[in-house]
């Protein structure tokens, strides 16, 4: 019996585009936006940062050394974090589930600059029962250890948990632990899947 719904963040609750950061940051470096993107994609820095193995200061120092970035850490953090747009039908879906007394969780591979920005920019982000964020636990999805943290924090396991994520490797680990999963492809499909599971009744059915 599902009692909690777990949401991936990127491509599920918010869209993100690192090219937005690349355009803004590259202006303050000796690189073009494309060169900055290529650097970011090739570098192991972002994954290390999202696993909490390096600090914000460290990733800033490394990027400054590699690119010639001229601004402060504060300026960098603002540009680096501001790459998200809310996905309204998914935010509304979370709110509808919450009104029906389901616990809701955020479960994300992310970093502290992103989360600082999201907390500030999107009020919906405060309306969850808990947050399991890769950089706070030293491990990323699809590593099972992060799923154990979610189970521990929520006090739930197996089929009590319903999980939405847009990446198959992430839903696969969840399914192997007995969680119910929805591979998120579009808000319409995920809404329909949740209605089919019977989680939204009455007036909320059409939401």
Q: Please give the residue ranges that form the binding site for Mg ion (CB under 5 A).
A: 8, 10-11, 166
Closer residue to Mg ion, CB minimum distance, 3 or 11: 11
Beta bridge partners of 130: 105
Asked if residue 69 has a cis previous peptide bond (ω within 30° of 0), the answer is: no
Closer residue to Mg ion, CB minimum distance, 29 or 165: 165
Residue 185, CA atoms < 13 Å, CB-side half-sphere: 4
Closer residue to Mg ion, CB minimum distance, 8 or 50: 8
Shortest spacing between CB 165 and Mg ion, in angstroms: 6
Shortest spacing between CB 69 and Mg ion, in angstroms: 27
Shortest spacing between CB 109 and Mg ion, in angstroms: 8
Contact 96, 205 (CB under 8 A): no
Cα dihedral across residues 183, 187, 189, 190: positive or negative: positive
Closer residue to Mg ion, CB minimum distance, 26 or 140: 140
Shortest spacing between CB 29 and Mg ion, in angstroms: 28
Q: Distance of CA 93 to CAs 39, 123, 151, Å?
A: 36, 15, 22
């Amino acid at each position: 019996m599902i009692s909690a719904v777990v949401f991936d963040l990127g491509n599920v609750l918010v869209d993100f585009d690192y090219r937005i950061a690349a355009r803004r940051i590259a202006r303050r470096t000796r690189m073009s936006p494309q060169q900055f993107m290529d650097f970011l994609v090739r570098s192991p820095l972002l994954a290390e940062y999202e696993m909490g193995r390096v600090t914000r200061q460290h990733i800033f120092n490394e990027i400054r050394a590699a690119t010639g970035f001229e601004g402060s850490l504060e300026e960098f953090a603002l540009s680096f974090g501001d790459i998200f747009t809310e996905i309204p039908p998914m935010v509304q879906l979370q709110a509808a589930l919450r009104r029906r007394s389901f616990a809701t969780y955020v479960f994300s591979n992310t970093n502290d600059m992103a989360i600082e920005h999201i907390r500030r920019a999107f009020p919906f982000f405060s309306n969850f029962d808990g947050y399991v964020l890769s950089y706070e636990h030293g491990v990323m999805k699809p590593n099972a250890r992060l799923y154990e943290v979610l189970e521990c924090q929520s006090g739930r396991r197996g089929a009590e948990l319903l999980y939405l994520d847009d990446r198959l490797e992430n839903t696969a680990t969840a399914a192997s632990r007995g969680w119910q999963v929805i591979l998120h492809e579009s808000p319409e499909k995920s809404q329909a899947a949740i209605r089919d599971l019977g989680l939204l009744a009455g007036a909320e059915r059409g939401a």
